[in-house]
Amino acid sequence: MHSEIIPNRVIIKITGLDAASFLQGLISNDITQAENKLVYTALLSPKGKYLFDFFITSHGDGFLLDVLAPYAAKLIQRLNMYKLRADVALIETNIAVGRGVGLAPQGSFSDPRHSALGWRIYGLEGNEISTVNWDSIRVEHCIPETGIELISDETYILEAGFERMSGVSFRKGCYVGQEITARMKHKTALRKGLVTVDIWGLAPIGTNILSNGKIAGQLFTQSGEKAIAYLRFDRVSADMTAGTAKVNYCEPV
């Protein structure tokens, strides 16, 4: 078993008689699926753009929300903005967040984004350092990361692969940003999005990808000879570059 405590995650506990209905009307996924399992989801702007992504699971009389630490205070502030008179309490906790691959310990949850990401657990003790190359796994399976590929008030979750990562429900009904997301879902095809590309050479995150003299997208996390990129599919060609690096994308059959 390869496991570690993630130092930059915060657990917010959400309790109150209205906790479930409150969350259901806000997040992109179905809170009823969080009973004894982990749900990946997002909070969007009214214009349908990504603001925060996080994991949720039921816990006692409420829910645990697992979010990247630098975004916790802003997320609580945003949720409180929607709370109005709802019977909901939001408390930042000191619960440790662990993750790992291999044999899953009792009380852990499978990472809903992809099986290769193993499991997560809340309350893991110790300070074991994992030797898992998480970026390599993310790049291979095109799993975006908060603050890198997922950019607040800019990213659209369907272009980021949330449907593939079980991060959005199209059956749960209304939530903030739902109308825009549903409209994108029913287009014939997405024209832009995050994909895994082959790359030869190195370039910084955010480097523009050029194709036939035009900007075709941006380069993000790189691992070995692969990287996550945001591409305009109508500009993909066999001769793309990012700085001095060569880039190639072959659309899956």
Q: What CATH code is carried by the domain that includes residue 21? A: 3.30.1360.120
Query: Do 212 and 134 share a structural domain?
Result: no
Q: How many CB atoms lie within 10 A of CB 120?
A: 22
Residue count of the chain, please give it.
Answer: 253
The tokens for 92 are: 């930042």
Angstrom distance (rounded) from CA 252 to CA 239: 18
Query: Do 128 and 202 share a structural domain?
Result: no
Query: Do 200 and 132 share a structural domain?
Result: no
Q: How many domains does the chain have?
A: 2
Q: How many CB atoms lie within 10 A of CB 171?
A: 5
User: The pTM is what?
Assistant: 0.95
Let me know if residue 173 belongs to a domain. Answer: no
Let me know if residue 184 belongs to a domain. Answer: no
Q: 240 CB contacts (<8 Å, ≥6 apart)? A: 209, 210, 211, 216, 246, 247, 248, 249
Query: Do 201 and 128 share a structural domain?
Result: no
pLDDT digits (tens, 9 = 90+) for 154-203: 999 999 999 999 999 999 989 999 999 999 998 878 999 999 999 999 99
Let me know if residue 153 belongs to a domain. Answer: no
Angstrom distance (rounded) from CA 235 to CA 237: 6
Let me know if residue 161 belongs to a domain. Answer: no
pLDDT digits (tens, 9 = 90+) for 40-60: 999 999 999 999 999 999 999
Report pLDDT for 126. 60
| 253 has pLDDT over 60 | no
Let me know if residue 128 belongs to a domain. Answer: yes
**Hey, is 140 helix, strand or coil?**
helix
Question: Residue 247 is part of a domain; what is its CATH number?
Answer: 2.40.30
Query: Do 199 and 126 share a structural domain?
Result: no
Consecutive H or E run containing 178: helix 178-185
Q: What is the overall mean pLDDT for the chain?
A: 95
Report pLDDT for 1. 56
User: Quick one: DSSP state of residue 104?
Assistant: P
Q: Which domain holds residue 196?
A: 191-253
Let me know if residue 179 belongs to a domain. Answer: no
From 140, 157, 177, the end of a domain falls on 140
| H-only helix segments in 6-125 | 19-24, 72-83
The percent of residues in the chain predicted with pLDDT above 70, rounded, is 96
Angstrom distance (rounded) from CA 211 to CA 189: 21
Let me know if residue 154 belongs to a domain. Answer: no
Report pLDDT for 252. 72
Over residues 204-224, the mean pLDDT reads 97
Let me know if residue 56 belongs to a domain. Answer: yes
Query: Do 200 and 128 share a structural domain?
Result: no
